[in-house]
């Protein structure tokens, strides 16, 4: 049965609205399998990410049993690279999951932040550098291997479900966390596949790049449609055929993510990554090819095989240039003063520093600053000097203003009128 496209815009919660024990702060995103809000717990005064499942999910006869069973599985996944689910419930007919709030990755320079891996790649021009991608993939692989050992398959691995955070003190790259682990199984593989197939048909009938935005009776469904289309794109061939997913299905999705993030190409053709960009390490070719085998029996068997090939790639990838850390600010008492500004000396400078000590005693009675002995008026404030002296240019003997010759050496006195 075709899924019912409920108008999710009408069901969206508004900032400030109270939803059970939570006060809605803002809408973080709307996807094919629900809406995510930043919400503050009214008692604890802590903020979380609140995932509301699609409104039509509650109408299913098996909704409650399926929700309780799969939500418990999700809550038991405790790994630093998996977005933590720590509570779940039902409020006014909507089932919800409470998750940790991932703050996002700061884009330098500036205050802008991105949360999902696809947004980060877009901010970088569609591609992620080899060394940085290796670091992100290692974190995803570690989380996937943990989940697979506990019997959990993601089934909807894609860049928008990889959330990023700023590097820790010892890290050089972004922290990666897998979100929505097990959500496809919670809402049902068949429900997701049928919704995805319908979205693909609608997208094809309305033209490439078009969504349900603007279609009567489907207001607000554009974002949801794009998310479902993203889910379909990263589905393994066996999932599209309606077969059960296993660990190799997640490997296929991870291989496709790797190919697209490396090359910036969305379509998988006959050209290998190093053929698209000769600057890429050839080892990527083997890794991507083995992960994207259409038949799962010929595909990489699991995370260990993927990690082995990735390790070989990492050994050949040039190290990413280390970001130069900014030095911490100095305390105010040891701040380095700015260098002096070079400028030409002024007449006042010469008066203060160039005169011999014997002639610097002619001070203005108004401002108290020293003056050249030849001056009748203060060069600082313009006031008349009380005692005007002259000095011999040869022996620097102080003379009276009426003296025509130096009383010591006989040199003619240079008066102000003569200058």
Residues annotated catalytic, as ranges: 156
Q: What is the signed CA dihedral for 249, 250, 256, 259, rounded to 10 degrees?
A: -130
* Interatomic CA distance for residues 235 and 253, integer angstroms: 7
Single out the residue of 287, 277, 232 nearest to residue 255, CA to CA. Answer: 287
Q: Spell out the residues 6+ positions from residue 2 whose beta carbon is closer than 8 angstroms to its own.
A: 194, 198
Pairing of strands 34-41, 85-91: unpaired
* Interatomic CA distance for residues 81 and 313, integer angstroms: 22
- At 175, which helix (H) or strand (E)? strand 175-178
* Interatomic CA distance for residues 118 and 97, integer angstroms: 23
* Interatomic CA distance for residues 121 and 131, integer angstroms: 14
Cβ atoms of residues 132 and 121 within 8 Å:
no
Please give, one letter per residue, the 3-state secondary structure of 229-243. Answer: HHHHHCCCHHHHCCC
Single out the residue of 91, 68, 119, 66 nearest to residue 13, CA to CA. Answer: 91
* Interatomic CA distance for residues 230 and 192, integer angstroms: 12
* Interatomic CA distance for residues 283 and 274, integer angstroms: 9
Query: How is residue 57 written in tokens?
Result: 């999910």
Neighbours of 263 (CB within 10 A): 22
* Interatomic CA distance for residues 27 and 358, integer angstroms: 80
- At 97, which helix (H) or strand (E)? strand 94-99
Residue with tokens 């994207």: 292
Query: How is residue 195 written in tokens?
Result: 């919704």
Please give, one letter per residue, the 3-state secondary structure of 246-275. Answer: CHHHHHHHHHHHHHHHHHCCCCCCCCCHHH
- At 114, which helix (H) or strand (E)? strand 113-114
Neighbours of 141 (CB within 10 A): 19
* Interatomic CA distance for residues 248 and 237, integer angstroms: 11
């Amino acid at each position: 049965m075709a899924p019912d496209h409920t108008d999710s815009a009408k069901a969206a919660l508004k900032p400030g609205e109270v939803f059970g024990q939570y006060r809605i702060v803002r809408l973080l995103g709307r996807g094919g399998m629900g809406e995510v809000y930043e919400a503050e717990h009214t008692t604890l005064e802590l903020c979380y990410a609140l995932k509301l499942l699609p409104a039509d999910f509650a109408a299913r006869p098996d909704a409650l049993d399926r929700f309780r069973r799969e939500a418990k599985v999700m809550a038991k996944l405790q790994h630093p690279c998996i977005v933590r689910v720590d509570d779940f419930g039902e409020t006014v007919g909507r089932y919800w999951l409470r998750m940790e709030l991932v703050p996002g990755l700061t884009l330098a320079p500036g205050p802008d932040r991105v949360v999902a891996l696809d947004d980060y790649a877009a901010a970088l021009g569609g591609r992620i550098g080899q060394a940085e991608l290796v670091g992100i993939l290692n974190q995803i692989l570690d989380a996937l291997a943990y989940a697979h050992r506990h019997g959990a398959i993601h089934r909807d691995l894609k860049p928008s479900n990889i959330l990023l955070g700023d590097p820790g003190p010892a890290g050089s790259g972004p922290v990666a966390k897998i979100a929505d682990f097990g959500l496809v199984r919670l809402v049902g593989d068949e429900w997701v596949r049928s919704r995805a197939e319908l979205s693909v048909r609608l997208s094809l009938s309305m033209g490439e790049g078009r969504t349900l935005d603007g279609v009567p009776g489907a207001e607000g469904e554009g974002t949801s449609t794009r998310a479902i289309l993203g889910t379909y794109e990263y589905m393994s061939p066996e999932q599209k055929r309606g077969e059960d997913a296993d660990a190799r299905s997640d490997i296929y999705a991870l291989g496709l993510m790797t190919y697209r993030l490396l090359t910036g190409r969305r379509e998988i053709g006959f050209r290998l990554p190093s053929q698209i960009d000769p600057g890429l390490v050839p080892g990527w070719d083997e890794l991507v090819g083995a992960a994207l085998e259409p038949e799962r029996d010929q595909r990489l068997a699991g995370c260990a095989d993927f990690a082995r090939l990735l390790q070989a790639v990492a050994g050949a990838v040039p190290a990413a240039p280390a970001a130069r850390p900014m030095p911490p600010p100095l305390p105010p008492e040891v701040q380095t003063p700015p260098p002096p500004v070079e400028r030409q000396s002024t007449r006042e400078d010469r008066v203060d520093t160039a005169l011999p000590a014997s002639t610097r005693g002619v001070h203005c009675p108004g401002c108290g600053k020293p003056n050249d002995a030849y001056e009748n008026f203060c060069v600082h404030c313009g006031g008349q000097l009380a005692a005007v002296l002259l000095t011999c240019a040869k022996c620097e003997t102080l003379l009276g203003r009426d003296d025509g010759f130096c009383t010591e050496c006989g040199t003619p006195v240079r008066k102000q009128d003569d200058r």
